[in-house]
Chains A and B, each alone.
Chain A
Amino acid sequence: MAEGITDLDMSSFDEAISASDKPVLVDFWAEWCGPCKMIAPILEEIAAEEDSIQIAKVNVDDSPDLARRYEIMSIPALIVFENGEPAKKLIGAKPKGALLEEIGEFL
């Protein structure tokens, strides 16, 4: 795992999201999801390049309650949390350029 990406689960999620003074981009993923694997290195690059946003991951197999809470029906799903609240939800794998454009307002 790259520096700067935190793995979150049910026990750590709420505190990590509310304690952050930056927007947090959470990647909901699973081991069996091919497109999730394709975007993992892109998120690692963004984590290394962008100081203004924090990146975290939630494994939906380990934390089905979190997936349910945020009504995830398709992964990869990326949710940007601002001030502890979901501010934007992106569904599906995208190339880096398109992803940066989508989250541009938070950078």
Chain B
Amino acid sequence: MSDIRDVIIIGSGPAGLTAAIYTARANMAPLVIEGEPSSTSDQPGGQLMLTTEVENFPGFPEGIMGPELMMHFRAQASRFGAEFITQKATKVDFNQRPFMVEVGDVSYKAHTVIISTGAQSLMLGLPNEDRLIGHGLSTCATCDGFFFKDQEIAVVGGGDSAVEEATFLTRFASKVYLVHRRDELRASKIMQERALNNSKIEILWNKKVTEIHGDEKLSGVLLEDTVSGEENALPVTGLFIAIGHQPNTSLFANQLDLKDNGYLVTEPNSSKTQVAGVFACGDVQDDYYRQAITAAGSGCMAAIDAERWLEENND
């Protein structure tokens, strides 16, 4: 039947688009359900769409802008015939064969599915948070840093993305407080050194944000010392949140095994999930490396796994 596809790829970050390039070149005519525009990392192109300079992706000795890199990935997949739907998958059914993936009212069928829905940024979950997004509270430092010229702002978090954002934001802000709930950073050594040597960054150790203040615009936050319990107000006009990620797995919760932290389970050294013919790659199944290059590598694995599975199960 012609309306059954060889492969549907859900998600379009480095993993999904690498899987698209490989499956397209293997004449599998992939359909990529790439997601929909948003100002969070849950969007076509994934988390790199919100980063500036990517310095560690091999092949770009001078670095490359995150969005530009993802445009290249997508163009390369397109060139070999990958098809794109710029919407989110709304339902999947892996209990029937061929598998079914729904996008709104339209349902698509395929012999194999590659899941590469990635992970998205966690929010603090505090009152006023949603209301002040775009009014001083930001989920995208590269989008919004520009508007905080000569102002004092804060970044919450202690990992690579928090430290990278804090460093980036010193281009604009007069002072960047890095609010971290522990007494050491999780970020890589090179990122830590950049932050520690940057005179505009002040790290506030053992602090967590407990309240966000502001009517029309953000006016400040309340910090609590995680050791002493002491509270103090920090008047800032901008707050950038980079406290980690959660995998985008809610679509698959009842059909595939998830780890305790919500990430998809794959077989060791493989992209196979527990449903034969369904493969997962990239951050949605990786809570350890979480790099663009490892995501791309696992996308290639998923494409090859899907191609071989199709060959072996060709009836």
Q: Which residues of A contact B (CB under 8 A)?
A: 30, 32-39, 42, 60-61, 67, 71-77, 91-95
Contact at A67–B87, with CB atoms within 8 Å? no
Query: Assuming the A-B contacts A73-B135, A92-B39, are A35 and B44 also in contact, with contact meaning beta carbons closer than 8 angstroms in the complex?
Result: no
**3 nearest CB pairs, A to B:** A91-B134, A92-B39, A34-B49
Q: Which residues of B contact A (CB under 8 A)?
A: 36-39, 43-45, 49-50, 52, 65-67, 71, 86-87, 133-136, 138, 140, 142-144, 146-148, 217, 238
Instruction: Select one of A67, A74, A94 contacting B134, CB under 8 A.
Output: A74
Q: Which residues of B contact A91 (CB under 8 A)?
A: 39, 133-135
Nearest Cβ in chain B — how far from A99, in angstroms? 9
Instruction: Select one of B38, B45, B52, B217 contacting A94, CB under 8 A.
Output: B38
Contact at A75–B143, with CB atoms within 8 Å? yes
- Distance A67 CA – B143 CA, assembled complex (angstroms): 13
Q: Which of chain B's residues has its CB closest to A98's CB?
A: B36
Contact at B147–A92, with CB atoms within 8 Å? no
Contact at B87–A36, with CB atoms within 8 Å? no
Contact at B67–A37, with CB atoms within 8 Å? yes
Contact at A74–B38, with CB atoms within 8 Å? no
Contact at B135–A93, with CB atoms within 8 Å? no
Contact at B66–A34, with CB atoms within 8 Å? yes
Contact at B136–A39, with CB atoms within 8 Å? no
Nearest Cβ in chain A — how far from B112, in angstroms? 27
Q: Which residues of A contact B143 (CB under 8 A)?
A: 33-36, 74-76
Contact at A74–B37, with CB atoms within 8 Å? no
Contact at A94–B37, with CB atoms within 8 Å? yes
Instruction: Select one of B44, B50, B52, B144 contacting A74, CB under 8 A.
Output: B144
Contact at B147–A35, with CB atoms within 8 Å? no
Q: Which residues of A contact B217 (CB under 8 A)?
A: 71, 73
Nearest Cβ in chain A — how far from B17, in angstroms? 15
